[in-house]
């Protein structure tokens, strides 16, 4: 069997009662049967859970022969997370053994939802023989469920003293004897039943039972988490018990250690190795490429705006560019923030009709995040055509337009594309949980975040952007409000519910998907609040406000020299120019243009303009950062040997208008160098304008919107502002290093 689609088919065969004969028996009668041919793995699985599929995959990679009991039966063995139970397993085992024969047959009976094989039948049988008993039970450090039986357990010199019923191996006749007396109910404790046999000296002797007290065959993780580490060797991954220096064959996340087995199961036996990387990431995919657009799965996208958030317009522009047929998408938008209503409705008015359906819940509803998220999931759950639910929070910046397709093709129950916060270790997944259910860092977290380990990872918590199969919303996740909890936030509640239902959540870092915005320090008092985001979300600020060709001006020699020592280069996007102009007009307190000016030190301006200073709109820190990050590198390149920290107190937007102030008489600037950025377009917004450097009799008469002029301020570059003859001209000016 080469892929897991086949594996699944085999699993179904097993469910219908047949044996999975994965290894080809040697041409039967002539050749000697090897000991492996006598081994049969028996497990109880009433449902084909994600954990069961993981178990089968690991078994398959070692060619174990498996018989599954209980397929399709309702589970009555109790809540495996806490209370004792499991009698159903003993009943099913007893029944199954009665139908088997062969003195030499060896049965390995184990749980499957939380078990992975770390090695093959050969090693298992060798270690079984070395144990020199007819039945070997897994061992536990903790006694359970009846503490009072502690004294009755045989003492051991070293190792675990207690028996674990989650795994044992033995000869068929001995096992038959062992379960012969089972009369219990399905909800009774299998662990207690086997413990009572074991602590009875006569039975222990006649059945010939021991426990694997140093974890040579079985590793139960409960109570032993500190003893177990991953061991990478020769393209294989094992778990090593560092206390007993053993390499157990079977790893069992018994009791409350489901997250640890999920973690180990990301590697063992060779799910991810240093040599091969991820070996399962390309299995069992759901390719979309061959589908016609009309056959694409129907996805409900849940979008949530719960607080003032930057770059919302950019979010919707990206949503529009997401590669996916829009008539296979339905949008659920919950906007609980009045200040963003305009941005949402302008997107919906322009493009809403492209989508198959749109549902908007506005701030007038005043619903909390849990309710919003529950309603989003319901939109998919109540729609019989819905195939997937895609949660997409407003602060997610999906740079990868293929993200939704990639997530669907990966074909997993819940999958989150990994997104990061620029240059930090913050992401939308947790690799581990602390004891109280909050964030804890897994050993591989940093390697995953930084891309040193690439794959699809089973993790306990995902948020912000993730895809859920709708089939789960009708099955495991059908009954309740997934995001509601008395004690946990909605996202933690969701993940806890998903985990408790045994559904696996994955994060993928197989591609670069994007990042997440910080909503901290978001000022909301301005007209264009996003302009102020240069500190908090610089990457997004830059994408929106820095000229698209800025990054290649050095490489492609885009810097022009229109006059001696005057440099001219693109710096701002059109949008930045518009936003600065609109912001200043919105503020409106233009100076009178007189010499008296109490905004500056000394209160006297030699060459006054009609202007507004950056500090009047609270933009001086932001402007300074803009100068430092985007201007200083060019200054230092063009004026070699001059280094600047961009000390600049005079930063302002000037308005030239024929009937107000059309020009500026010749003057020197109080600066070492000056930046002069055109904020609108000649011939479109105004006529005339420009700048003339008198000493060189040289003019820049066709300023370009978004381009900066950089020139020395004193002595050599005596200059004037040429008359604006029609319309209004705006420039942003900085006198740097006065
Ligand atoms: C499992 O069986 C197949 C087919 O017989 C064989 O090619 C493969 O090497 C076996 N794998 C192991 C680990 O024994
Ligand atoms: C248990 O079985 C082994 C062989 O597997 C045998 O050597 C040993 O004597 C038996 N122990 C008892 C107590 O019968
Ligand atoms: C950036 O450069 C390209 C190629 O030179 C040009 O086509 C494009 O118009 C420039 N972008 C802007 C905004 O000027
Ligand atoms: C900036 O320049 C002003 C005026 O020359 C000066 O008083 C101030 O100390 C400078 N600041 C820094 C940080 O260099
Ligand atoms: C300045 O240049 C203009 C044309 O560019 C020319 O007509 C004029 O005579 C020049 N003036 C001086 C003083 O050289």
SS3 217: coil
User: Is position 1 within any domain?
Assistant: no
pLDDT in tens, 414-439: 999 999 997 788 999 999 999 888 99
| Mean pLDDT, rounded, for 519-547 | 95
pLDDT classification of 29: cutoffs 50, 70, 90:
very low
Given 458, 481, 516, the domain boundary residue is 516
Alpha helices in 208-294 (DSSP H): 258-265
Candidate of 208, 210, 211 to mutate for ligand 2, largest count of ligand atoms within 8 Å of Cβ: 208
Q: How far is the CA of 221 from the centre of ligand 5 (A)?
A: 88
Q: Which of ligand 1's atoms lies nearest the C-alpha of 62?
A: 13
Nearest alpha carbon, ligand 4 atom 13: 647
User: Is position 477 within any domain?
Assistant: yes
pLDDT of amino acid 85: 67
Helices and strands: H and E segment counts in the chain: 19, 40
User: Is position 30 within any domain?
Assistant: no
pLDDT classification of 35: cutoffs 50, 70, 90:
confident
Alpha helices in 144-221 (DSSP H): 172-179, 190-198, 201-207
Same domain? 503 vs 558: no
Same domain? 463 vs 554: no
pLDDT at 526 over 50: yes
pLDDT of amino acid 33: 61
Maximum mean pLDDT: which of 16-30, 563-577, 595-609? 563-577
CATH classification of the domain holding 162 = 3.90.550.10
- Cβ-in-10-Å burial (0-12, 13-18, 19+) of 183 comes to exposed
Same domain? 503 vs 580: no
Nearest alpha carbon, ligand 1 atom 6: 23
Nearest alpha carbon, ligand 3 atom 13: 548
- Cβ-in-10-Å burial (0-12, 13-18, 19+) of 544 comes to buried
pLDDT of amino acid 84: 59
| Mean pLDDT, rounded, for 649-654 | 93
**Can 328 be counted among the known catalytic residues?**
no
Q: How far is the CA of 698 from the centre of ligand 5 (A)?
A: 8
Q: How far apart are CA 442 and CA 344, in angstroms?
A: 38
| Residue scoring higher pLDDT (108 or 27) | 108
pLDDT of amino acid 78: 67
Same domain? 549 vs 669: yes
User: Is position 21 within any domain?
Assistant: no
pLDDT at 488 over 80: yes
pLDDT classification of 72: cutoffs 50, 70, 90:
confident
Same domain? 166 vs 248: yes
Question: In whole numbers, what is the pLDDT of the chain averaged over residues?
Answer: 92
Tell whether ligand 4 has an atom less than 6 A from the beta carbon of residue 738: yes
pLDDT in tens, 684-735: 999 999 999 999 999 998 899 999 999 998 878 888 899 999 999 999 999 9
The residues, ordered by sequence, that sit 6+ positions from 580 with a Cβ below 8 Å of its Cβ are 531, 572, 653, 679, 730, 732
pLDDT in tens, 157-168: 999 999 999 999
> Which ligand is located closest to the Cα atom of residue 649?
4
pLDDT at 4 over 90: no
Q: Which of ligand 3's atoms lies nearest the C-alpha of 573?
A: 13
Nearest alpha carbon, ligand 1 atom 3: 23
| Mean pLDDT, rounded, for 502-524 | 95
| Mean pLDDT, rounded, for 243-259 | 96
Tell whether ligand 2 has an atom less than 6 A from the beta carbon of residue 205: yes
pLDDT of amino acid 79: 61
pLDDT at 11 over 90: no
Q: Which of ligand 3's atoms lies nearest the C-alpha of 574?
A: 13
Q: The tokens 């070293």 sit on which residue?
A: 158
Nearest alpha carbon, ligand 1 atom 13: 62
Same domain? 470 vs 541: no
pLDDT in tens, 267-323: 999 999 999 999 999 999 999 999 999 999 999 999 999 999 999 999 999 999 999
**354: containing domain:** 293-516
| Mean pLDDT, rounded, for 385-411 | 98
> Which ligand is located closest to the Cα atom of residue 646?
4
Tell whether ligand 1 has an atom less than 6 A from the beta carbon of residue 34: no
User: Is position 29 within any domain?
Assistant: no
Inter-residue contact 735 to 596 (CB < 8 Å): no
Same domain? 573 vs 700: yes
Same domain? 579 vs 615: yes
Q: How far is the CA of 647 from the centre of ligand 4 (A)?
A: 6
Same domain? 632 vs 497: no
pLDDT of amino acid 14: 43
Same domain? 346 vs 434: yes
Given 516, 549, 570, the domain boundary residue is 516
pLDDT classification of 363: cutoffs 50, 70, 90:
very high
Given 516, 548, 566, the domain boundary residue is 516
Nearest alpha carbon, ligand 2 atom 1: 133
Tokens encoding 45: 């699985």
Tokens encoding 725: 């003859």
pLDDT classification of 666: cutoffs 50, 70, 90:
confident
User: Is position 131 within any domain?
Assistant: yes
pLDDT at 554 over 90: no
Same domain? 497 vs 645: no
Same domain? 55 vs 201: yes
pLDDT classification of 76: cutoffs 50, 70, 90:
confident
| Residue scoring higher pLDDT (363 or 716) | 363
Q: Which of 216, 328, 655, 729 is an active site residue?
A: 729
Candidate of 132, 136, 202 to mutate for ligand 2, largest count of ligand atoms within 8 Å of Cβ: 132
User: Is position 193 within any domain?
Assistant: yes
Nearest alpha carbon, ligand 1 atom 10: 63
Candidate of 600, 644, 647 to mutate for ligand 4, largest count of ligand atoms within 8 Å of Cβ: 647
> Which ligand is located closest to the Cα atom of residue 1?
1
Candidate of 544, 549, 552, 571 to mutate for ligand 3, largest count of ligand atoms within 8 Å of Cβ: 549
**Geometric angle at alpha carbon 231, from 228 and 235, rounded to 5°:** 150
pLDDT of amino acid 16: 37
Cα distances (Å, whole numbers) of residue 550 to 556, 572, 578, 643, 644: 10, 8, 18, 21, 20
Quick one: which of 93, 35, 104, 86 has its CA closest to 68?
93
pLDDT of amino acid 604: 84
Nearest alpha carbon, ligand 2 atom 13: 205
Residue environment code for 573-589, b if the CB has 16+ CB neighbours within 10 A, otherwise e: bebbbbbbbebbeeeee
Q: How far is the CA of 174 from the centre of ligand 2 (A)?
A: 12
Tokens encoding 410: 């990966």
Number of domains in the chain: 3
| Mean pLDDT, rounded, for 665-684 | 93
Give 175's Cβ-side CA count (13 Å radius): 32
CATH classification of the domain holding 580 = 2.60.120.620
Q: Which residues line ligand 3 (CB under 6 A)?
A: 548-549
pLDDT at 10 over 70: no
Q: How far is the CA of 722 from the centre of ligand 5 (A)?
A: 15
User: Is position 75 within any domain?
Assistant: yes
pLDDT classification of 3: cutoffs 50, 70, 90:
very low
pLDDT in tens, 195-241: 999 999 999 999 999 999 999 999 999 999 999 999 999 899 999 99
């Amino acid at each position: 069997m080469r892929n897991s689609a086949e594996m699944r088919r085999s699993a179904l065969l097993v469910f219908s009662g047949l044996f999975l004969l994965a290894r080809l028996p040697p041409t039967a009668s002539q050749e000697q049967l090897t000991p492996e041919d006598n081994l049969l793995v028996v497990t109880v699985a009433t449902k084909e859970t994600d954990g069961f599929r993981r178990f089968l995959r690991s078994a398959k990679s070692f060619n174990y022969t498996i018989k599954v009991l209980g397929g399709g039966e309702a589970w009555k063995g109790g809540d495996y997370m806490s209370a004792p139970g499991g009698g159903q397993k003993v009943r099913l085992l007893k029944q199954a053994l009665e139908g088997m024969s062969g003195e030499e047959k060896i049965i390995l009976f184990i749980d499957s939802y939380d078990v992975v094989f770390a090695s093959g039948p050969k090693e298992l049988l060798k270690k079984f023989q070395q144990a020199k008993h007819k039945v070997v039970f897994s061992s536990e450090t903790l006694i359970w469920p009846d503490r009072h039986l502690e004294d009755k357990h045989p003492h051991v010199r070293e190792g675990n003293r207690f028996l674990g019923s989650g795994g044992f191996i033995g000869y068929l006749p001995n096992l038959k004897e062992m379960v012969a007396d089972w009369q219990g109910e399905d909800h009774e404790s299998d662990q207690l039943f086997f413990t009572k046999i074991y602590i009875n000296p006569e039975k222990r002797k006649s059945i010939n039972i021991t426990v694997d007290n140093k974890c040579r065959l079985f590793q139960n993780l409960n109570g032993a988490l500190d003893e177990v580490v991953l061991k990478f060797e020769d393209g294989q991954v094992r778990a090593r018990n560092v206390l007993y220096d053993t390499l157990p064959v079977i790893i069992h996340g018994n009791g409350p250690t489901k997250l640890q087995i999920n973690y180990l199961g990301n590697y063992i036996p060779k799910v991810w190795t240093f040599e091969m990387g991820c070996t399962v990431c390309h299995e069992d995919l759901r390719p979309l490429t061959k589908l016609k657009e009309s056959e694409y799965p129907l996805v409900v996208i849940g979008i949530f705006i719960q607080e003032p958030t930057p770059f919302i317009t950019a979010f919707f522009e990206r949503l529009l560019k997401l590669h996916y047929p829009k008539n296979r998408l339905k949008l659920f938008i919950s906007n609980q923030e009045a200040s963003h209503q305009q941005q949402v409705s302008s997107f919906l008015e322009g493009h809403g009709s492209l989508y198959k359906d749109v549902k908007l819940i506005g701030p007038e509803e005043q619903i909390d995040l849990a309710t919003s998220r529950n309603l989003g999931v319901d939109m998919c759950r109540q729609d019989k055509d819905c195939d997937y639910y895609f949660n997409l929070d407003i602060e997610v910046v999906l740079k990868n337009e293929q993200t939704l397709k990639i997530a669907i093709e990966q074909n997993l129950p819940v999958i989150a594309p990994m997104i990061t916060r620029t240059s930090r270790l913050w992401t939308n997944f947790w690799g581990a949980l602390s004891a109280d259910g909050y964030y804890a860092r897994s050993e591989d977290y940093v390697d995953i975040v930084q891309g040193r380990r690439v794959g699809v990872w089973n993790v306990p918590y995902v948020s912000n952007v993730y895809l859920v199969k709708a089939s789960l919303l009708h099955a495991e996740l059908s009954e309740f409000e997934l995001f509601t909890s008395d004690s946990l936030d909605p996202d933690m509640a969701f993940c806890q519910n998903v985990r408790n239902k045994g559904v696996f959540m994955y994060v993928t870092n197989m591609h670069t998907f994007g990042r997440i915005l910080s909503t901290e320090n978001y000022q909301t008092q301005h007209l264009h609040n996003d302009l102020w985001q240069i500190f908090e979300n610089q990457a997004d600020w830059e994408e929106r406000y820095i000229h698209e060709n800025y990054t290649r001006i050095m490489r492609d020699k885009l810097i022009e020299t229109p006059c001696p020592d005057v440099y001219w280069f693109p710096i701002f996007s059109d949008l930045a120019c518009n936003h600065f102009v609109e912001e200043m007009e919105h503020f409106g307190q233009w100076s009178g243009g007189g010499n008296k000016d109490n905004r500056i030190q000394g209160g006297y301006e030699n060459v006054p303009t009609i202007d507004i200073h950056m500090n009047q709109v609270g933009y001086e820190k932001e402007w300074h950062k803009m100068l430092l990050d985007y201007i200083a590198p060019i200054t230092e390149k063009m004026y070699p040997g001059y280094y600047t920290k961009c000390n600049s107190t005079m930063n302002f937007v000037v308005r030239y208008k024929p009937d107000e102030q059309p020009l500026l008489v010749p003057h020197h600037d109080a600066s070492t160098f000056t930046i002069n950025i055109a904020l609108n377009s000649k011939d479109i917004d105004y006529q005339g304008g420009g700048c003339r450097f008198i000493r060189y009799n040289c003019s820049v008469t066709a300023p370009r919107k978004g381009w900066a002029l950089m020139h020395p301020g004193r002595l050599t570059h005596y200059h004037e502002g040429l008359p604006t003859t029609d319309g209004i001209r705006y420039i942003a000016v900085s006198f740097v290093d006065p």
